[in-house]
Structure 1
């Protein structure tokens, strides 16, 4: 009996071991949209393949980004990059990257190392893919990858407004929804991923499908960063939106005798110099020495004769962001996912989550400084730097952050509004949190977001796709009745002509909408964001129905007269279709656009990035879009608006813009059959590179 049992255990062990060690061929199946479906059984090979794939689609962009975030852009490409190099040296990213490489978790080190090896291997195998001007950046190192991650996260997002690098983030932000089974027509949880970012450089997304030992992981990351930042698997998924978090502060210091004042006493700056090399027009290089100064607050980012500005950023001591995203995408349950969130390595972003078990969850994620006093308004400005009590050191724990799980409403949303309105009726009370945690407000886009959810008790998958592309203007629905009444009370013939056009308008910013152009011109003059323009100002007691009314009806009518006269003079009539004026101009394509910036309460965001005499052009907005249903099998439609490549000769540079212009999405190919049916070619790992399978 014992011998039989021992034999059975040995057989079981041998069988199990052979299954576990069975080699899965590492390969990249490229589909017809230029999306790599990567299969492997080791983390190292998986990220080597992703590095190879990113470089295949974005070689020149990545080298330009890495060269810039390395702080050597001026040396490689000339004086136009000097200010950016100076910023990187001032913030100390070079030394910080060395610290990160020492302190990173071994798995994070392996992810970065494998990713960089894959990128270098690609350009070794395909030197023709790299423009001559960018070859100077090669080879890439793991330090480069770390510096690029910190450059994007800290200088472009967290400290972006403090540095004047990115303006009006609430308008540039994102949408995300999680819908529980009680509000889903199928009884399955639904998730909407819809980040809004500029359509250029370090803000571009890269889409990929990763399969590690049979676990499917799908989504997008920012170009040059490994892994998946917004994604889903067969059990769960999440999206990020930029949150109303203040975890970078600018301090104004008073100078005295070459130092600065703190608590009434003079302090010395930490001072050093660094050299930035600058390429001249004739190709020669000159060295420029710049001073680098630090106070107890942080690095000095601006200096005048009697004042300096110092910048303090939270999260510089958290080197494992990429590892946290990797743990999130590898989770199978909410508890596992929450354990990943508790790592607290990602210094900002809201998290909106849904899973196969029907759980939905919202987290105001980030590293919020523990401040001695003050509310949001106190900290959302340049802070007088004379008090050491204002120089924060610690951050709030995960347990302190606003969060909501499975609300009675059955839905969660965020459209870059503060956490308090993530669901309605509100379940988070701002009074339960420090006054500096987040502001108290709800602009028109999140109001539109909440309205669509509140008005549909049973949302289908297809309806969720339609809602994603909604261009209905919440501001128009709120204000037009008041504007029409004001016109009726006036004797303006021009305003009455405009009123007729606006009465017939569908109140949407679709390409074929007639009246949107007129309304947009009026709204731009009205200044939607100005509280004093409304008869009833915004109130947290009625967060999704205020502000309302016109504070000065006569002035509003005068603005309508001006707007109508301008449109008629320029276009010959008041009813030119919106898409005739608003265009998508990208990589040789010129298509009609839908949407506008979110300030007017449009959910489908496409904000202007430039204009000429005849047209205005989209500069960013909807970027990565994912609509996911967590049933017995996960179902997903996705879109990467500008396509999954930037290489000049790639057919995927801008190839999804037609879908975006028509408000359409495409299927995410997740199953073996779907992938095989839509594969253009397969590359197989072969030594230090990939070969095309014949």
Structure 2
């Protein structure tokens, strides 16, 4: 009997071990094996990579495709870690790397049919655009093959152009906040207030969704199906264009001041590209792109800020008793349903989690305890942006540049433009759905009426835009388009149809810019720099609400709270590291900013003030530490690690917007001023530009001297030269090599 029991025990142990080993290795084997880029076996690419004194790659090639191949190699040398994450997202396998958070991304990959979108439309892109993407994929494959020890996930490579295109289809909708719709629907929670009154019969659970810890130390609701690192669109960007008549010296100036995460899949990567086919551009891209998204060529340049038009419509479907059919125009239709397997890494194991995704004629469908809801969003089933950005890179005139935007292929983001001829422009770009007038598009729509299923985007001529205003200046700081050029030139809100759903909010940065721009008859370079680096707030909107709320607190019997209340009342409304109240105000502002931008309930003033005071007393022993002791630029580990003081705050023009709270109580900024570029066209002179990033080119290579070599400049508000012209790149080269495909 004992032998039998022992034998049974060994059999059980063996079975358990077999299961555990299976959970460790199943995902790479069952994942669909990738295929190499089209024609890569017969095509040889060659590119020269010259790195500047700051490690910024300048990529040269005979053809545009050669350059795209070199872009992949250079970027992988600096951040192959993040590039693999992006590719895993584009393959629906991110959960095998990032666990629950990654599986949320994979769920959205299937829900939005990102792969299907790419498969349907990638073959129809122009041949030269596809060649660019195939060459880029070849570069990634080559780096992965030559550096196999860095590869995180089996069978992730090879990849091809369609894989890269899929990444675009997946990630773009989240720049206009699609996650703010998908998340609540998946969790069965109330929708954002912009969707109007609660749905009749919609009774979400009062239980808050579980909180998950992200790799960067932040927290997010586990119910949210995607966390790209942007923390929503609230953090924003700034942009300015100054015409020659306003600049004081006849120079056209364009300032790109994007606010993006400092690490991860939507962190900027600076580069300069040049081919013998006429592609010559300096700027920055995101991991997974063969071309820059903003910057300048010889003739013109542009930058972007996130805008927030109403890009998403929600339909409540009428389902039959089986839950498999929905009614449309009096007929029952089958709901398209597919069961998918999401890989979810948990320690050494990867668990297979089955989920069902649905689609209707409207678009993706989410079913929760309150019903079935279909989603339709601007830019759905379109990857024309892959070609559009490429054409924008090579445009030479304002008319040519506008003709690309007019295709309505780039789903969202404002464009601020400048060129060598002295033109400046602002375009509230968005592929806004071409809705009929009449229905309440801000509410939940009936899903049984096909006339409400719009097709395509509005015409370009219906978008808000300003070309060459009389004021001589343009700006945007993620605000409504009706403040952009000064009162005499601004767009009349009455001229824009309400069904376009244009946002009506003003950020504090926008109010501050309005205030500053109005002070100067001439905005020369030093003045423009003072405006860009301004750390002040305007006492309006949520800032005023916060200050009034704190002033109204009854602090009787609460001496520390009374001291904090008095201190905040003395605040000089800046985040410049000078005033005694700056550290306390820094901690206080962010919750109100977040609530305002995300349409959430306002925080409790007493609770927030107490938490801020407790934090400062615990970690600094005083309510008045220098703000620069609290707010830090940190990047490490290794011999090139940095820990430097910062200024600026949430929603100031010098933006230190979001941070992690480290163990020592310091705030380690992870989102704010990121890629910054000043571009100038002086009459009769070649274009020139300067730029800066918070860390350096090699953001995930701690052993590289370019891991943090821009940090000190960034903190001092200094810029480095952009070597747009090859002769300057050669003069300042730190390294130079030629790469060829295998």
TM-score, normalised relative to structure 1 = 0.82
SS class of match (1:268): strand
Does residue 421 of the first structure (1) align with residue 483 of the second (2)? yes
Deviations 1:417-474 (A, max 9, x none): 1211112215311211211320223232211122222222222223323332221122
Counterpart-to-counterpart distance in 2, 1:79 and 1:243 = 29
1:127 aligns with 2:150: no
Query: Which has the larger displacement, 175-184 or 607-616?
Result: 607-616
**Residue number in structure 2 paired with 1:136:** 155
Query: How many Å separate the matches in 1 of 2:233 and 2:353?
Result: 38
Equivalent-residue separation in structure 2 for 1:575 and 1:289 (angstroms): 53
SS at match of 2:400: helix
For 2:550 and 2:260, how far apart are their aligned partners in 1? 38
Is the 8 Å Cα contact of residues 361 and 405 (structure 1) preserved in structure 2? yes
Could you say what secondary structure the match of 2:153 adopts?
helix
Q: Does 1:356 align with 2:424?
A: no
C-alpha change, 1:564 and 1:206, in structure 2 (3 Å) is closer
Does residue 1:150 correspond to 2:150, yes or no?
no
Match of 2:464 in 1: 402
Q: Which of 413, 430, 433 is the aligned partner of 2:496?
A: 433
Which residue is equivalent to 1:628?
A: 679
1:617 aligns with 2:638: no
- Tell me which moved more, 216-225 or 250-259: 250-259
| Superposed displacement of residue 143, structure 1 | 1.7
Q: How far, CA to CA, are the matches of 1:306 and 1:143 in structure 2?
A: 37
Quick one: which of 311, 316, 322 aligns to 2:386?
A: 322
- Measured in 2, the distance between the counterparts of 1:140 and 1:385 equals 38
Q: Is the 8 A contact 2:177 2:233 kept in 1?
A: no
Structure 1 residues 627, 296: closer, same or farther in 2, change over 3 A? same
CA gap 1:332/1:303 in 2 versus in 1, 3 angstroms: same
Q: Is 1:270 aligned with 2:335?
A: yes
Partner secondary structure for residue 172 of structure 1: coil
2:21 aligns with none
Mapped contact 1:54–1:224 kept (Cα < 8 A): no
Alignment of 1:530-569 (within 5 A): 566=614, 569=617
Instruction: Give per-residue Cα distances to partners, 1:508-541, cap 9 Å, x unaligned.
Output: 213454321233455468779669xxxxxxxxxx
Indicate conservation of the 8 Å contact 1:597/1:608, yes or no.
no
Q: Secondary structure at the match of 1:475?
A: coil
RMSD: 3.6
Separation of aligned partners in 2, 1:642 and 1:380: 41
- CA distance, structure 1, for counterparts of residue 174 and residue 233 of structure 2: 17
Shift in CA distance, 481/209, structure 1 to aligned 2, threshold 3 Å: closer
Distance 1:472 1:256 in 2: 57
Equivalent residue in structure 1 for 2:473, among 378, 386, 411: 411
1:590 paired residue among 626, 636, 643 = 643
The CA distance in 2 between the partners of 1:490 and 1:262, in whole Å, is: 59
Task: Tell me the residue number matched to 2:655.
Answer: 604
Structure 1 residue aligned with 2:130: 109
Q: Which runs of 5+ in 1 are unaligned?
A: 1-23, 532-554, 690-694
Q: How does 1:272-287 map to 2 (within 5 A)?
A: 272-276=337-341, 278=343
Separation in 2 of the partners of 1:560 and 1:282?
36
* 1-structure distance, mates of 2:382, 2:443: 25
How do residues 25-424 of structure 1 correspond to structure 2 at under 5 angstroms? 26-75=47-96, 81-124=102-145, 126-127=146-147, 130-155=149-174, 157=176, 159-164=178-183, 165=226, 169-213=232-276, 216-257=280-321, 258-259=323-324, 262=327, 265=330, 267-276=332-341, 278=343, 288-300=353-365, 302-373=366-437, 378-380=440-442, 382-424=444-486
Distance 1:207 1:111 in 2: 18
Query: Is the 2:383–2:409 contact (alpha carbons within 8 Å) kept by the matching residues of 1?
Result: yes
Q: In the alignment, which residue of structure 1 is the partner of 2:711?
A: 657
Cα 1:76/1:406, change in 2 over 3 Å: closer
* Structure 2 unaligned residues grouped into runs of 5+: 1-44, 184-225, 598-603
Q: CA separation of 1:605/1:405 partners in 2, compared to 1, >3 Å: closer, same or farther?
A: farther
CA distance 1:139–1:502, shift in 2 (3 Å):
same
Secondary structure of 2:649's match? coil
TM-score w.r.t. the length of structure 2 is 0.77
Q: CA–CA distance in 2 between the matches of 1:529 and 1:320? A: 34
- Answer with 78-87 or 320-329: which moved more: 78-87
- Cα 1:414–1:263 change in 2 (3 A) is same
Report SS of the residue matched to 2:74.
helix
Distance 1:55 1:569, change over 3 A: closer
In structure 2, distance between residues paired with 1:57 and 1:413: 33
Residues 281, 400 of structure 1: alpha-carbon distance in 2 compared, 3 angstrom cutoff: closer
Report the CA distance between 1:275 and its aligned residue: 3.6
1:516 matched to 2:579? The reply is no
